[in-house]
Each structure stands twice: as C-alpha cells, then as structure tokens.
C-alpha cells in the first residue's frame, strides 16, 4: 500500500499495520501566559466546588470580587457622564465607557474559563487530534514565536490606557466640551490607573487565550488539508481505509472546534461590538475636533483608535482563518475527480458525509448572535462601521449651521 504524508511517499506491505505516534502529554498552549494568569487575580481554578472552602479558594473569590466590582464601578461612572450629544465630551466618555465594558466582559470570560478548566480540557482534545496525523510537524506545535508576538501586541493596550487614566488622575479632568474643560473630584479618576491595570490585564489575557486557541485550531485543520491534498495527489482517497480515517479525523477536528466555540463565543460574540463603538467615537473625535485638541491628546486618541480596531480584528481574524480552512477542505474534496467518479457506494457515502460536514456543520461563532464570524462578515463590518464616524461628523456640522 502507498501512503503519503507531508514529507513524501512510502510503501507499506499488506502485513504491516499502521502505527500511531507515541502518546505525548498535552501541549501547554498558553506558555508563559499560564503563569501570568495564575498571578493576575483572575484565576478561579481554586473556586471550584472541591476547593471553594479552602483558604486559597476563599482568597481567590475575594480578589476576583474586588476586581469585578472595580471594573463595574469605573464603567458605571463613565456611563453617568453627562455632556451634549455629539460633543467631544460625549464622544470621549463613550470611548472610555465602551472599552470599560469590554474589559469587564474579558475579566468575566477569563474567570469562567479558568474555573471550568477550559484550556486544560481543550489541550487534551487537541493532543488526541494530533495523534491522528499522518506526519509530524514540530513547527505548528511550537508557540514560542507566537507568544512573543502576543506579548508585543498587548503592549500598546497597557501604554495607551494607562497613559490616559494617569493623565486624568493628575489633571482630575472630568470631560471636555468644545474649548472648555470640566473638572471633578470623583474618586474614579484617582483610582482609575489601578483599576485600568486589571482591565488591561483582563483584556490582554482574554485576547491571548482566545487567539491562541483559535490559532491552534486553524493550524490543525490547515495541516489536515495539506495531508488531504497530498493523499489526493497520489490517488489514495479511493482507498476505503484512507478515506475513512480522514473522515473520522475531520469529524474530531470539527467537534473540537465546536467545543472551543462554546467557550470562546462568550467573549467573541459581544466584545467586538464594544470595541467597534469605541473605535467609531475615537475616529469621530479625531476627525471633528482636531483643531481644539492638544498634540498629546490627539496622539492618545489616535492610540485609542488603533487598539480598539486591533482588538476587533483579533476577535475576527482567527475565526475567519478557521472558516477559510474548513471551506478549503470542501474545495479539495469537490475538486478530486477520481474520488467523485468512484463507483463504491460506501466510499461515496463517506465522501458526501465529509463534504456535508464542511458545509453544514455549525462550527461558527456568531457576532452579536446574529452574524457569522467569517471573512465576508468582517469585510462588511470594516467597510460599514468606520463610515459611521463620518456620518456623525456630517450630522454635527448640520446641527451647528
């Protein structure tokens, strides 16, 4: 029998049985971020039923409650700021309020994921899927460079948010309205830098976890597609045991994606809406009030626009990649002429089941529980939403005529 992996072709005798790679412990996907989670105050692995009455469980619960209350308090304070509609103060407070909502959602998600042991369970499922590969690929299992990129990408979040909250704490600035600046003794501005540290930490850890899990799924199905293409090139897909093994492996991958989505959608289905609203208002401020803004304030607001659109993209792009790879599997099967013309009824059934799984299996996360998170949806959002800032600016100019 002839089989093909990614590395080439080899011949098996009829008596030789396929061997599985040696069992390996689940890969620690989070790498150094796993230790950051443990010391972030958001790790609720000790608040499960079996640990909740322990000293560490009680301490963890208290710390988590303080963080959540602080984030909720800051968000509520920003929501209560009163300013004329479409004024700079209204838009600025909207940026901060909706980003604070996103931080609160991120913190809750990290708490839920650590309490439910989501990452550990996902790693076990991913390890089982990896055992079904035809060929090993250490490159796609190595996340060292990926973790470095993640660390670099979250730095702007801390820098922009903490610079803004520190400046507000020093100036005791409440909000702006045209050429006037109003001040307040509200305690939220005194403690905002401390609260925002945990808000940035929650956002960063949630994003890293979400992107890492999604990237591992995209890598796995991309590797599956490469091996499927290689097997089709050598006309191995007409061999019943080969096609059945691919179908079973594909089913396992889709089930793993569905399991991951059940947890990841807690964040990805709603958080991008908050960051999009913040992004729209940041662009609105930059386009409508640049003549009255100090240079440092303009630079900070530009930073807010960058990090909010960056978080939105980080939610969509990994999900888009997974859906693109699932569609690529369907394309490979549909364009295999030899497999399509195979006269064996059982093989044709397996072929149709695998193809239908690609096209009809519910493996998508839905933005706002309404729009599938895939490339077409993301492209439409990036085309439509930024234009709202221009529409707001035009409407404001119309009102002031």
Which residues of the chain are under the pLDDT cut of 50?
Answer: 1-3, 7-23, 174-175, 180-183
Q: What is the pLDDT of residue 187?
A: 66
What is the spatial distance between Cα 152 and Cα 166, in angstroms, rounded to a whole number? 22
Q: What is the pLDDT of residue 59?
A: 83
Structure tokens that stand for 309 in this block: 């659109």
pLDDT in tens, 260-271: 999 999 999 999
Whether the Cβ atoms of residue 253 and residue 125 lie closer than 8 Å to each other = no
Q: What is the pLDDT of residue 281?
A: 92
Structure tokens that stand for 92 in this block: 């600025």
Q: What is the pLDDT of residue 8?
A: 45
What is the spatial distance between Cα 105 and Cα 162, in angstroms, rounded to a whole number? 19
Instruction: Report DSSP letters for 132-185, one per residue.
Output: T-SS--HHHH--HHHHHHHHHHHHHHHHHHHHHHHHHHHHTEEEEETTEEEE--
Say whether pTM exceeds 0.75: yes
pLDDT in tens, 138-196: 788 888 889 999 999 999 999 999 988 888 777 665 445 555 444 455 666 677 888 89
Collapsing DSSP to helix, strand or coil, 11 comes out as strand
Instruction: Report DSSP letters for 106-141, one per residue.
Output: HHHHHHHHHHHTHHHHHHHHHHHHHTT-SS--HHHH
Q: In the chain, what are the domain boundaries?
A: 25-399
Q: What is the pLDDT of residue 173?
A: 58
């Amino acid at each position: 029998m002839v089989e093909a992996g990614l590395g080439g072709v080899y011949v098996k005798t009829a008596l030789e049985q396929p061997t599985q790679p040696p069992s390996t412990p689940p890969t620690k996907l989070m790498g150094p971020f796993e230790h950051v989670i443990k010391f972030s105050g958001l790790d609720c692995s000790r608040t499960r039923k079996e640990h909740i009455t322990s000293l560490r469980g009680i301490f963890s619960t208290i710390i988590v409650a303080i963080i959540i209350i602080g984030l909720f308090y800051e968000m509520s304070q920003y929501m209560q700021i009163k300013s004329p509609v479409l004024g700079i103060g209204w838009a600025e407070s909207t940026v901060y309020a909706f980003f604070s909502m996103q931080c609160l959602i991120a913190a809750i998600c990290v708490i839920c994921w650590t309490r439910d042991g989501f990452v550990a369970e996902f790693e076990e499922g991913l390890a089982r899927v990896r055992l079904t590969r035809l060929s090993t690929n250490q490159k796609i299992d190595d996340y060292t460079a990926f973790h470095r990129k993640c660390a670099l990408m979250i730095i702007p979040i801390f820098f922009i948010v903490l610079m803004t909250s520190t400046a507000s704490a020093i100036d005791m600035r409440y909000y702006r309205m045209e050429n006037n600046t109003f001040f307040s003794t509200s305690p939220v501005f005194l403690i905002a830098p401390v609260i925002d540290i945990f808000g940035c930490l929650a956002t960063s850890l949630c994003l890293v976890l979400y992107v890492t899990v999604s990237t591992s799924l995209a890598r796995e199905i991309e590797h599956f597609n490469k091996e499927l293409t290689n097997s089709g090139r050598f006309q191995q897909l007409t061999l019943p045991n080969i096609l059945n093994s691919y179908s079973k492996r594909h089913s396992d991958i889709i089930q793993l994606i569905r399991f991951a989505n059940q947890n990841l959608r807690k964040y990805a289905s709603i958080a991008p809406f908050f960051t999009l609203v913040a992004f729209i208002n940041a662009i609105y401020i930059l386009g409508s009030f640049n003549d009255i803004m100090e240079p440092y304030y303009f630079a900070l607001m530009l930073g807010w626009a960058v990090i909010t659109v960056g978080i939105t993209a980080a939610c969509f792009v990994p999900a888009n990649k997974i859906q693109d790879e699932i569609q690529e599997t369907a394309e490979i099967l549909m364009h295999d002429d030899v497999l399509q013309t195979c006269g064996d009824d059982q093989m044709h059934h397996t072929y149709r089941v695998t193809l239908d799984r690609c096209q009809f299996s519910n493996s998508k996360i839905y933005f706002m529980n309404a729009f599938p998170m895939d490339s077409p949806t993301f492209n439409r959002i990036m085309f439509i939403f930024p234009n709202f800032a221009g529409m707001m600016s035009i409407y404001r100019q119309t009102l002031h005529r």
